Every structure is written in structure tokens, then in C-alpha cells.
Copies of this chain bind each other. A is one copy, B any other.
Amino acid sequence: MSGRAIELFQEQSGVNHLALRLPPSVEAEALDLLIDRMGGRLSYAPKQRIFHEDDPAECLYKVSSGLVCTSKLLSDGRRQIGGFYLPGDYFGLGCSGAHTLSAEAITNAKVRIIKKSVLMAVANRDDIERQLLWLMTRELAHLQERVLLLIKNAQERVGEFILEMEKRTKVGNAIQLPMKRQDIADYLGLTIETVCRVLTSLESCAAIEIQTLQRVVLRSSSALRTAMEDRSSIPHKNAARKRSDRHPHSVRRDV
């Protein structure tokens, strides 16, 4: 249980130990090695389920190839997609006890899987722990971004999605969209029709080019930005004017 009182004041490692301020270069090297060597290999066909949302969350997963998503089915029939996971991405984190989301393959996918208990038994615990904490922190930051996304309008949601996928899947200058339009819609909290319409409008304003269903090229990022901010050339929504009215002295009370 204890037996590490001797280390109590080793400040250097102690400070970093918290893993809430991590050297960015660390990433998950040891974890990668471990799961690649010791983790089980599993293959999934499109739409095949990897785990269900009530299954005990005792494993850690990493995508080797293909595309995986987590999702949740609501009582009214709507589906919300928690995230898309590309090769190299980890999923199944951040759940104590049971998963809160299901996971399924979207394309053919190969997945590495390792039990958390095995992970802890085999590896240097602190390294692994720090890396897991880092992964959780990233997941949390990503979720916060998503919350911000969901209060925006359709053009901004789709636009930010394009930009996110550009960072993650660009080969040459082609952005890959391996998921269905319906998956994008469920990820962005929109309908498939709205996603289609926005994509079409983005193409017609020369921001992007839809080469195939799953292949998009970013033609003009400035045009994309413009289209995202454009509210049909009407200064609608809660504009800055209104906001300043609402918090007229949010500044002057600062210490």
C-alpha cells in the first residue's frame, strides 16, 4: 500500500508526477510499445460493435487501422457520436466502472486491446499512469471543444469538422472522410440533410472541393472562414453588441 514515504520529497519527479503539466514530447511512447507488443489483436467489420455502453470498462483500446467511433443511442432514437478514432488513437478511456458509450467500427478496423490490470502489472506504473492521465486530459479538452461546437450554427459546425479532419487525415492536400454523412451528422448534432446542404454550399462558394464522397480538398481556407462566420450576411445571433450590454462591468471588478 505505502512504502514510498522515502520518495515523498523528491520534488522533481514529484511535480511532474501529477501529469497535469506534461512534457509534450512524452506522448505515449512506453504505452505504445506495451500495447503493440502485449496487446491482443482484433479485427472488426463495418458496423460491428467493439463494446457496449454498459460493459465493464476494464480494457484500453488502440486503433491499428481503419476507423472506429464511440456512440450513444438516446431514448428518442437519436444517436450521438462521441468521437472518431483514427489509427494511433486510444479509446475506452475516462470511464470508471462501466463504459458510458458504445464503440463500433465504421470501416474495416484492426484494434489493439489490453487489460488495464495487465498494463499496471507489467509496466513501470508511473510512466503508464502519466501517459494515461495525459490521454484523459486530451479527451477532456476535446470534449470541451465539442461543447463549444454544439452551440454554434450548422456552417460553423461543418466547417470546424472539415478543419479538424484536415489536421488528422490529410494526405497530400486531400482530406479523407471515411465515415458516412449520417455519422458526421450524429457527431455534429445535425441532420444528414443539413450536413449535405452545408457541404454543397461550401463547395459552391469555392471553399472546398468534393472530389468523391469520402475525399475533400480544402480550396480556400479564407473562403471557408468567411462562410463559417457568414450568417447569410445578417448580423444575427447574440452579437457582440448584445453581449456587452449583458455584462457591462465584467471587467471593472477584477482585482
- A residues near B (Cβ < 8 Å) are 1-5, 7-9, 11, 13-15, 17-22, 45-49, 57-58, 72-74, 76-80, 82, 93-97, 100-101, 116-117, 119-126, 129, 132-134, 136-137, 139-141, 143-144, 146-148, 150-151, 182, 189, 191, 229, 237-244, 246-247, 249-250, 253-255
The complex places the Cα of A4 from the Cα of B7 at a distance, in Å, of 10
Contact call A147/B137, Cβ cutoff below 8 A: no
The complex places the Cα of A239 from the Cα of B238 at a distance, in Å, of 30
Q: A150-B147, A242-B77 known; A94 and B140 CB under 8 Å?
A: yes
Q: How far is the CB of A136 from chain B (nearest CB, A)?
A: 6
Task: Report the 6 A-B pairs with minimum CB-CB distance, sorted nearest first.
Answer: A77-B240, A77-B243, A151-B189, A150-B150, A14-B120, A143-B143
A140 contact from B97, B140, B242, Cβ within 8 A? B140
Contact call A97/B148, Cβ cutoff below 8 A: no
Sampled A-B contacts (26; CB under 8 Å): A1-B13, A3-B7, A4-B124, A4-B126, A8-B122, A11-B117, A17-B125, A18-B129, A20-B57, A20-B94, A21-B116, A22-B96, A47-B253, A48-B254, A74-B148, A76-B229, A76-B237, A77-B243, A80-B151, A94-B137, A100-B141, A100-B144, A136-B140, A143-B147, A182-B246, A191-B238
Q: How far is the CB of A121 from chain B (nearest CB, A)?
A: 5
Taking CB atoms, residues of chain B closer than 8 Å to A79 are 243, 247
Nearest neighbor of A1 in chain B, beta-carbon distance:
B13
A121 contact from B8, B93, B244, Cβ within 8 A? B8
Taking CB atoms, residues of chain B closer than 8 Å to A117 are 11, 14-15, 18
Contact call B239/A77, Cβ cutoff below 8 A: yes
Q: How far is the CB of A42 from chain B (nearest CB, A)?
A: 10
The complex places the Cα of A80 from the Cα of B149 at a distance, in Å, of 10
Contact call B238/A15, Cβ cutoff below 8 A: no
Contact call A78/B147, Cβ cutoff below 8 A: no
Nearest neighbor of A188 in chain B, beta-carbon distance:
B151
Which of A94, A124, A229, A240 neighbours the largest number of chain B CB atoms within 10 Å of its CB? A94
